[in-house]
Amino acid sequence: MKKRILTGDRPTGKLHLGHYVGSLVNRVRLQGEYDMYIMIADVQALTDNFETPEKVRINVKELLLDYLSVGIDPERVTIFVQSLIPEIAELTVFFSNLVTVAQLQRNPTVKQEIADKGHIFKNGNVTFGFLGYPVSQSADILFCKAELVPVGEDQLPMIEQAREIAKRFNRLYGEVFPEPEAMLGDVSRLMGLDGRKMSKSFNNAIYLSDSAEEVTKKIMAAKTDDKEGITFDMKTRPEISNLIRYYQIATGKEVEEIEKEFAGETSFKVFKEALADALNKFLDPIRQKRETFAKNEGLLDKILRSGSARAKEVAEDTMAEVRKAMKIDY
Ligand code: TRP
């Protein structure tokens, strides 16, 4: 039996190159090897976008298009929408008895997010829903008894929370859940065009769905330095090194190979033109796939419906066990 993996994303924006190297490539690589579930976490997205549900709605489709365009195969992966599995909400309620408010307030990722989202949680005045999203995320992971959860480092406290809930549940009510483990990617964080972490909120990202013109414009305007040559050294030349990493992603070449290719090149402009070209060559098939799928609304709908139906069946089985264990199987 293949091991079950669950991972997911909040549908709040299009995916970029950082997502690609940080998680999408891995998912494509692992999709045959594992029984993989990918959740479009619309309920979680609403915890900090409850005032703009249309934004979440639009991005459910965009996220699905991003998945399909990079080669995630809905025949082999169960892609589903969180809100279509009400059992997850039900499980969240039962799990919420097993977690203290203090525990949630200590969660470093949630703490940081509350601080970052001052516009919505004024003066740290956080909602019950947002503070509790790690409980809901534990239900995301445990409803299908996932054993492995591929995530970035910032999500480690969520996996820890899920493990603690699983342990507590099993001890109180009997063995139902596995203790899920995080599966950390090996890539260091990809920086954006301005040297900060690549992120939608910094407006420094290259999106998988950017047009060739947009990519070229962004690369030509990217930060460089006042040194000479195209050489990789993250410490002393972070901007150029970062652009070399983009080139690496686009071409699959090693850093040394790239340095050699541009040895003696004194013009950043020449390098940037080559980079924009390489990125566009790399993104072209992804764009084409995206375009083909985008035209087929019916197919997109079918993919989400059938993935969610599959996930719901698993959820119903788990809930039957949960209800029995909790003595509420009336
Ligand atoms: N919190 C994750 C993020 O912001 C998204 C997510 C929701 C998730 N549910 C999940 C990730 C379950 C892994 C497992 O990226």
Give tens-digit pLDDT for 132-161: 999 999 999 999 999 999 988 889 999 999
| Ligand 1 neighbour 137 (Cβ under 6 A) | yes
Give strand ranges (E) for the chain.
Answer: 4-9, 35-40, 77-81, 148-151, 181-184
Q: How far is the CA of 37 from the centre of ligand 1 (A)?
A: 12
Nearest CA to ligand 1 atom 14: 7
Cα 196 from Cα 205, distance rounded (Å): 10
Between CA 258 and CA 246 the distance in angstroms is: 11
Q: Identify which of 209, 219, 204, 193 has the alpha carbon closest to the alpha carbon of residue 274.
A: 219
Residue 125 three-state SS: coil
Beta bridge mates, 8: 39
- Which residues neighbour 35 within 8 Å (Cβ) at sequence distance 6 or greater? 1, 2, 3, 4, 5
**How far is the C-alpha of 314 from the C-alpha of 311, rounded, in Å?**
5
Mean pLDDT of the chain: 95
What's the predicted TM-score (pTM) here? 0.94
**Residue nearest ligand 1's atom 11 by CA:** 8
Which residue lies with its CA nearest to atom 10 of ligand 1? 8
pLDDT for the residue 120: 93
Residue 237 Cβ inside 6 Å of ligand 1? The answer reads: no
pLDDT, tens digit (0-9, with 9 covering 90-100), for 230-275: 999 999 999 999 999 999 999 999 999 999 999 999 999 999 999 9
Distance, first Cα to last Cα, the chain:
33
